Amino acid sequence: MLDTAENPVINARRDLVTELLGVWLVLAVFLDGWAHLNLPSLETFSTPWHAALYSGMMATALWTAAVAWRNRKPGQQLTGALPPGYRGTAAGLVLFAVAGGLDLLWHELLGIEVTLDALVSPTHLLLGFSLFLILGTAVRSARAAGRAGNVEWTPAALFAVVLMTGLGAFFLIYCSAFLRPGPTALFIPVPVGTPGRLQAEMPVVIALTSYLLTTALIIAPFLFTLSSARRPARGIVTMLVAAAAWLPVAMIGFRPTAVAGAAGATAAAILADVLLARLPRVWLDRRLPAVTAGIAALVWTGQLVAFAVADGIRWPVSLWLGAVVLSAAAAAGLALLSSWGTAGGTRYAEPLG
Q: What is the pLDDT of residues 143-158, one digit of tens each?
A: 888 765 567 788 999 9
d(CA 42, CA 107): 11
Q: What is the pLDDT of residue 352?
A: 35
Q: Is the pLDDT of residue 4 over 60?
A: no
Whole-number pLDDT of residue 341: 56
Range of weakest confidence among 171-185, 211-225, 271-285? 271-285
For residues 126 and 158, what is the distance between their CA atoms, to the nearest angstrom? 24
Q: Is the pLDDT of residue 108 over 80?
A: no
* Calpha distance 227→221 (Å, rounded): 10
Question: What is the C-alpha separation between 190 and 72, in angstroms, rounded?
Answer: 69
Residue % of the chain over a pLDDT of 90? 60
Amino acid letter, 202: M
On whether the CB atoms of residues 233 and 153 are closer than 8 A, the answer is: yes
With cut-offs at 50, 70 and 90, classify the pLDDT of residue 172.
Answer: very high
State mean pLDDT over 67-91: 85
pLDDT number for residue 40: 62
Name the percent of the chain lying above pLDDT 70: 89
pLDDT of residue 51: 86
pLDDT > 50? residue 270:
yes
Query: What's the predicted TM-score (pTM) here?
Result: 0.90
Mean pLDDT taken over the chain? 87
